[in-house]
Amino acid sequence: MDQVVTQKPHELLAETLSTKMAAVNTLIQTRMASEHAPRIPEVTAHLVNAGGKRLRPMLTLAAAKLCGYAGEDDVKLAATVEFIHTATLLHDDVVDESGQRRGRPTANLLWDNKSSVLVGDYLFSRSFQLMVETGSLQVLDILANASATIAEGEVLQMTAASDLKTDESIYLQVVRGKTAALFSAATQVGGVIAEASDTQVQALYDYGDALGIAFQIADDLLDYQGDAKTTGKNVGDDFRERKLTLPVIKAVAQATDEERAFWTRTIEKGRQEDGDLEQALALMAKYQTLEATRADALVWAAKAKDALNVLPETAIRTMLVDLADYVVARLH
């Protein structure tokens, strides 16, 4: 589990799936276009070409290939999940007033809120058209439920983020909405179109779910221990934005009265002063919550790998195992 990862598994996946990924990119470009509203490709090109890892569409293609799929609907569903992901980013940008996304200015600094909301809606509708084209009601059911989990998680995050009553189980729901629901839908639909067994489809869901949770916990941990050069974020952004994530939730759970007053002032009331981030980091160190958070991420990565046991032992499966290791390997 603590092995040194010497190659990047998502790059190996991209190489292995390069023909399909090229088809996904072409389909994204085609469906993004709007004859009537040139603003749409202007806004989306900024995000879609921004050099993201395309992790979610790759998961769909990998899951379908792992289950022996030989058709073309995997490409449609891979584009579907990328559109959903991009639409979610656009809507997040509107509401979070976040300044950076993948190292570029967010859409709503380049464009306006109006464009971000409506173009996001347009991408959702395009994703909806693509998934209907597969003609699979099971796929539609999975993606409808994932959409609801995502939307509910986003709303929950909005109310729970600065509320000290937010515990680990609420955090997990938020993380499922924010990240894991689309990961698990991405892998699950790959199995469904390949007509994999129920056991295998469930295993693909479990893999995506656990991988997404590990990925998000890692992200939240790196906010406190990464450096801006590799993560594109400054240490403590979540603290400054008064977002309760796992390292703080664990510290709040063990807080003395005085410490609790500190968290109430800085997170719930948002009255932050110089030195507060250092104090927050000291409290996390006192209770070793960064170590405990890392341990949780490793447990979820292990769950992801375990889930793959019922799937065929192919090169793709090995890459998916390595991917689960990779998302937590950057943690120290």
Least distance (Å) between residue 34 CB and a copy of itself: 6
CB nearer to a copy of itself: pick between 270 and 312: 270
Amino acid letter for position 128:
F
Closest CB to a copy of itself among 53 and 114? 114
Three-state SS string across 59-73, please?
HHHHHHHHCCCCCCH
Minimum Å gap between C-beta 45 and a copy of itself is: 14
* Nearest to a copy of itself of 43, 62 (CB atom): 43
Query: What is d(CA 266, CA 103) in angstroms, rounded to the nearest whole number?
Result: 27
The least CB distance from residue 20 to a copy of itself, in Å, is 23
> Of the two residues 32 and 316, which places its CB atom closer to a copy of itself in the complex?
32
The CB-of-170 to a copy of itself minimum distance in angstroms stands at 8
d(CA 228, CA 202): 37
Query: Of 130 and 204, which CB lies nearer to a copy of itself in the complex structure?
Result: 130
* b (16+ CB within 10 A) / e for 193-216: bbebeeebbebbbbbbbbbbbbbb
Site for a copy of itself, rule CB under 8 A: 34, 36-40, 91, 94-96, 113-115, 117-119, 121-122, 124-126, 128-129, 132, 135, 137, 140-141, 143-145, 147-148, 150-152, 154-156, 158-159, 170, 173
H helices of 49-135, where?
55-66, 73-96, 107-110, 113-133
Nearest approach in angstroms of CB 29 to a copy of itself is 16
Q: Are the C-beta atoms of 247 and 293 separated by less than 8 Å?
A: yes
